[in-house]
Structure 1
């Protein structure tokens, strides 16, 4: 059991070190030596757990997906109205991007996936499926117009979020990512809210900033 615990801790340290290296250097210029140094392990320990840089990248992507899914499950478990849940999911992901190096590294690797022949569609497909189901529920709840296509809306939200966080990263290192996500929803909501719902777009958009505690709990759980 002690050996298993030690091996698990070593593997986690390697993934955390790999995330630091991939986030800073990208896949192309990252090296096993840099990862071993960042993780504070020997190359022998590194190769015991991961045979190649490709395997390391895949492990970081898998961990990123696990962390974001865990944060999403916490929010979904609260059973809030569907439209509120959609907004808070975006806020939680934004907070993870600001606070969690594994998530940031995973996003960078997603953009470079062709370099190591990795299929990165699953996280996006999972997120769009979740948003699509929530959009359908929001229509039933009378908060989103029935004329809105849930599939189209889910794709638009995921694409918009992706663009917003990328521009935030380029301009401010994601320091303003939560505010930019809030603005995204403030622009989007008037076009989809049911006219008889009585919902306030500004108040709803502000929910983006109320998810930070949930997201930080998810970061702590994955540490």
Structure 2
């Protein structure tokens, strides 16, 4: 029994060390030697538990997925209204990403699926199913517009969360994620909720964003910088200039938005 416990502890140490390195460097830039050094283990111990770096990456993804499943089960057990459950889900996942390196690494590895021989898509399919079922509940509870396609909206909500999280991490900083999720819901709520329920769900999104920011700060994630103060009033021009002409078709073709 003691030997089995030590083996499980070693396996956990390896997974956590791998998660920290994958989170920091990505799958391609992390070597098994990096993981061995980070975990303070031997290569023999690593190979006893994992035959390859890809097997280890899949173990990290599986651990991250289990963390999210556990959190989802706790959320669903609360019996909240369907749309409220959908609204809370991205904040729940974001809290794991901001505070747990295993969750962060699992998400990064899933997004870098092209580096694995067989990309992992199971977690996304499961989350889409959960969100779709909650949206159907929201329709029955008279919170969600009856014309909404639950499956299409579930896919879009999950895709929007992944995009917001990626942009916050790559182009801004993780500390921007709470505010960006609130912005996401400001855009989505009017299209999902019946008009009489929009204000309630906007308020809930604002409160969840504030709580997420506080959780991230406790975990050591630097908050997003405050916006720069607006400049003073601009001088009124003596004459209003003529508007610039619209760009020609050729100019749009060269410099248009991709």
Same fold at TM > 0.5: yes
Is residue 143–residue 197 contact of structure 2 (8 Å, CA) maintained in 1? yes
Q: Distance in 1 between matches of 2:61 and 2:73?
A: 18
Residue 88 of structure 1 corresponds to 88
Is residue 132–residue 151 contact of structure 1 (8 Å, CA) maintained in 2? yes
Is residue 189–residue 198 contact of structure 2 (8 Å, CA) maintained in 1? no
**Larger Cα Rg: Structure 1 or Structure 2?**
2
**1:161 offset after TM fit, Å?**
0.5
Residue 178 of structure 1 corresponds to 178
Is residue 18–residue 56 contact of structure 1 (8 Å, CA) maintained in 2? yes
Q: Distance in 2 between matches of 1:62 and 1:82?
A: 27
For 1:55-76, what per-residue CA distance to the aligned partner results, in whole angstroms no more than 9, with x for missing partners?
1111011011111111111111
Residue 33 of structure 1 corresponds to 33
Alignment coverage as a number of residue pairs: 216
SS state at 2:26 partner: helix
Is residue 22–residue 105 contact of structure 2 (8 Å, CA) maintained in 1? yes
Matching of residue 191 in structure 1 with residue 187 in structure 2: no
**1:38 offset after TM fit, Å?**
0.9
**1:196 offset after TM fit, Å?**
4.3
Residue 146 of structure 1 corresponds to 146
SS state at 1:181 partner: helix
Residue 101 of structure 2 corresponds to 101
Q: Which runs of 5+ in 1 are unaligned?
A: none
SS state at 1:95 partner: helix
Q: Distance in 1 between matches of 2:198 and 2:131?
A: 22
**1:211 offset after TM fit, Å?**
6.7
SS state at 1:23 partner: helix
**1:13 offset after TM fit, Å?**
0.4
Q: Distance in 1 between matches of 2:182 and 2:199?
A: 16
Residue 111 of structure 1 corresponds to 111
Q: Distance in 1 between matches of 2:197 and 2:164?
A: 27
Residue 70 of structure 1 corresponds to 70
**1:202 offset after TM fit, Å?**
2.0
Residue 13 of structure 2 corresponds to 13
Is residue 178–residue 210 contact of structure 2 (8 Å, CA) maintained in 1? no
Is residue 190–residue 198 contact of structure 2 (8 Å, CA) maintained in 1? no
TM-score with structure 2 length normalisation? Answer: 0.79
Q: Which runs of 5+ in 2 are unaligned?
A: 220-258
RCO comparison, higher one (Cα < 8 Å, 6+): 1
Matching of residue 208 in structure 1 with residue 208 in structure 2: yes
Q: Distance in 2 between matches of 1:197 and 1:22?
A: 42
Whichever structure has more helix as a proportion of its residues is 1
Is residue 138–residue 144 contact of structure 2 (8 Å, CA) maintained in 1? yes
Q: Distance in 2 between matches of 1:5 and 1:201?
A: 46
